[in-house]
Amino acid sequence: MPFNFWCGGCERHIAHGVRFNAEKSQNGEYLGLPIWAFRMKCPSCSQIIVLRTDPQHGDYTVVEGGRRKIERVDADAAASLGMTEGTDGEKMSNPFFRLEHGLGDARKLQESIPKLRELQRQNEEIWKDDYGTSRMLRKRFREEKKLLKEEDKKSKHSVPMRLLPERLEDVSMARNTFSGEEQLQRRIAKRTKELEKESIFKK
């Protein structure tokens, strides 16, 4: 029930928000908006109650079966209590509020259609050659995966820092350094053997 209601058969008060299994049917149009009629029975006396939407005023009207309870609230008091705007839940439960904002959303959608079409065109341009694009992506993925494996391998055997790319002069310097050390070791080993063969009494 969209409002507080008095049954015309038994004078029972039906509170706002009570749910009914109503029969819904279209009963005309207003500026292209359908007007819906809801037919239901009073739970106490089986009195037939018929309500109809009023798109012009964003409300419901009673067709038959009872009368709407008139509730008057002082405007200043309602404003001080925050009753004029209503909560988000109450707004979204109002079908006319949803319809009004639904039209606003539809307008925004129409405005965004050119951008969506441009994005779709760009996407189709990128994926025009499915095989080529897929091949390029796979190649890029393999290269990135290879780099990650190399960095992970280096981090396990060295200090946690990013290494600079290898240069030819660095390789040459390292070879010369190790080569010099090897020659020195060989000379020391050779001299040691010579000293071992010599007599300690040699003058």
Q: Is residue 37 one of the residues assigned to a domain?
A: yes
Q: Is residue 172 one of the residues assigned to a domain?
A: no
CA gap 54, 88 in Å, rounded:
22
Q: Is residue 146 one of the residues assigned to a domain?
A: no
Q: Is residue 97 one of the residues assigned to a domain?
A: no
Would you give the end-to-end CA distance of the chain in angstroms? 128
Q: Please say whether the beta carbons of 67 and 8 come within 8 A.
A: yes
Domain count across the chain: 1
**69, 9, 65, 89 alpha-carbon torsion, rounded to 10°:** 40
Q: Is residue 9 one of the residues assigned to a domain?
A: yes
Catalogue the E-assigned strands of the chain.
5-7, 13-14, 23-30, 33-41, 48-54, 59-64, 66-68
Q: How far is CA 98 from the centre of its chain?
A: 23
Q: Is residue 150 one of the residues assigned to a domain?
A: no
Does residue 187 or residue 65 have the better pLDDT? 65
Mean pLDDT value across residues 121-133: 73
Assess whether pLDDT exceeds 80 at residue 12.
yes
Q: Is residue 80 one of the residues assigned to a domain?
A: no
Q: Please say whether the beta carbons of 44 and 106 come within 8 A.
A: no
What is the per-residue pLDDT for 198? Answer: 66
What is the per-residue pLDDT for 84? Answer: 46
Cα→Cα distances 68→15, 119, 131, Å: 10, 52, 68
Q: How many CA atoms lie within 13 A of 177 on its CB side?
A: 6
Assess whether pLDDT exceeds 80 at residue 193.
no
Interval 68-120: pLDDT, tens: 888 765 555 555 544 444 555 555 566 666 666 665 666 777 788 888 888 88
Q: Please say whether the beta carbons of 12 and 24 come within 8 A.
A: no
Q: Could you count the other beta carbons within 10 Å of the beta carbon of residue 124?
A: 9
Q: Is residue 184 one of the residues assigned to a domain?
A: no
Identify the helix (H) or strand (E) that includes residue 189. helix 168-197
Nearest to 43 by CA among 73, 7, 93, 92: 7
Domain, as residue range, for 59: 5-71
Among 53-57, 76-80, 107-111, 184-188, where is mean pLDDT lowest?
76-80
